[in-house]
Amino acid sequence: MDYIRELPKDIPVIAEFDVAVIGGGPAGVSAAVCAAREGAKTVLIERYGYPGGQATGGLVIFIVGLTDGKKPVIKGICREFTDDLFEMQAAEQVGNHILFNPEHMKLLFDSKLSESNVEPYYHRYVADAAVKDGKILAVITEGKSGRQAVKAKVFIDATGDADLAKHCGIPYDIHEKDRLMPVSLGFRVGGLNLGIFNEFINNNRAIYDELIGQAGITVKTGGWVHTLNPREVWFNIVHENNTDCTDCSDLTRAEISLRRKIHRLIRLFKENIKGFENAYIIDTAPQVGVRDSRRVRGLYRFGEKDLAARFEDTICRAPNYTGKGNPSVEVPYRCLLSDGIKNLVFCGRSISVEHKLLDMFREIPCCMATGQAAGTAAAFAVSQNLNLRDIDVITLKERLVCQNVILEEFAQSVK
């Protein structure tokens, strides 16, 4: 491989903050809003021109993982946001899950950031970090404005891919791409006769499966649901294996392939499925849906042995899908921290958990819950002039309970 040596140059520092959140998905927005509400001067750095990540740009418009199947396990800021969506008439309850309008979600996230005085830095990609004596001094961003530096006292990695772990030399795990979960591309279709379409699929499942195969879709997972608009359906059935989302070439190949599969599938459905004759593609997601990439090696790694465990530093709960242990699990604060950098906390799907349990932690509600904890912890660390691992966890949990986070046993002891 050939190389070009980059010439040394001074990078302008465009701003300094108490807390810098990297990544504006549900975890990052939650972290930024909670840090700002706790009094920290906060910036949110996001590569796209809108917040929301998979919930907006990924068209993952179905919120699952709020309950253990019977009772809620996640409230807090996630519950606040979903309540607001209902007030906006932009959400619908579907069993234990919530269907929402992604454009209203963008508006809601923007509004919450603004109301909390979070500074949004959109259209910026974090390309590197300046580290000294075990602390991040600044992150280096790239964008149309060129290369710029943003300083902060505490940093939150909400990228979903543990990008700051890579830039800071923090150990992380990522499987070979043939063992990673498939990536997907959500899409919306209009013009359906939903009654006839559903009846046909229910009575002719073999035909549906055959058409899926003809479109080149080998992973039989996902499904579809009606949206909040008439004659419109959201599909999450087109997937691509062997894709490492931290590899730009892989992402390029996958997105081109996924779009081709979607158009092939629509043509086959129109020709063969009743109720689909007049259907048309409204849109495909602007960004590919990623389930799985880097996971930081934290101070503690949640594993199968922990399915019924109790932790002194529990900061939220997550639904347990394994059928073993309790209906929900406790998520310890140590899973959000690494051993290498004193002023960095992780949230979202890159926290320290075993790969086979990742489904429990990667869904929107749990990502928002870990984001809420990360943001609250970051602001607390700044106010006390402490490293993240040295803050008083009891006080952190008290703050989270005040924010309507479900920590049942702890909340009872506080009362």
- Select from 3.30.420, 1.10.3470, 3.30.70, 3.40.50 the CATH code of 178-284: 3.30.70
Is the model's pLDDT at 206 over the cut of 90?
A: yes
Q: What is the mean pLDDT of residues 201-227?
A: 89
- State whether residue 370 is helix, strand or coil: helix
pLDDT tens for residues 249-278? 999 999 999 999 999 999 999 999 999 999
pLDDT score recorded for residue 219: 67
Is the model's pLDDT at 73 over the cut of 80?
A: yes
**Residue type at position 400:** L
Give the separation between CA 118 and CA 112, rounded to whole angstroms.
9
Residue 368 CB-half CA count within 13 A: 30
Q: Long-range contacts of range 266-271, CB-CB < 8 Å, 24 or more positions apart?
A: 266/189, 268/211, 268/214, 268/215, 269/211
Instruction: Dihedral sign for Cα 191, 194, 196, 198, please.
Output: positive
Residue bearing tokens 């891919």: 161
Residues contacting residue 170 through CB under 8 Å, at least 6 positions apart: 162, 164, 296, 297, 338, 339, 340, 341, 344
pLDDT interval class at 409 (50, 70, 90):
low
- State whether residue 248 is helix, strand or coil: helix
Q: What is the mean pLDDT of residues 4-17?
A: 95
CATH number of 13-174+293-414: 3.50.50.60
pLDDT score recorded for residue 343: 98
Is the model's pLDDT at 415 over the cut of 60?
A: no
Q: What is the mean pLDDT of residues 345-360?
A: 97
Q: Please give the structure tokens belonging to residue 291.
A: 């389930």
Q: DSSP readout, 323-384?
A: SSS-SEEEEEGGGGBBSS-TTEEE-STTSSB-GGGGGGTSSHHHHHHHHHHHHHHHHHHHHH
pLDDT score recorded for residue 414: 47
Output DSSP code: residue 203.
H
Strands 119-121 and 62-63: unpaired
Give the separation between CA 168 and CA 131, rounded to whole angstroms.
7
Q: What is the mean pLDDT of residues 182-211?
A: 95
Percent of the chain whose pLDDT exceeds 90:
94
Nearest CA-CA partner of 382 in 413, 339, 343, 327: 343
Q: Please give the structure tokens belonging to residue 122.
A: 């959109």
Is the model's pLDDT at 412 over the cut of 70?
A: no
Is the model's pLDDT at 80 over the cut of 90?
A: yes
Helical segments of 71-131, H only: 76-87, 102-115
Strands (E), 66-195: 91-94, 97-100, 119-121, 125-132, 135-142, 148-157, 172-173, 183-184, 187-190
Contact 184, 220 (CB under 8 A): no
pLDDT interval class at 356 (50, 70, 90):
very high
- State whether residue 13 is helix, strand or coil: strand
What is the value of pTM for the model shown?
A: 0.96
pLDDT score recorded for residue 408: 75
> Domain extents for the chain?
13-174+293-414, 178-284
pLDDT tens for residues 123-177? 999 999 999 999 999 999 999 999 999 999 999 999 999 999 999 999 999 999 9
Is the model's pLDDT at 328 over the cut of 70?
A: yes
pLDDT score recorded for residue 203: 96
Output phi, psi for 181, to 5 deg.
-65, 150
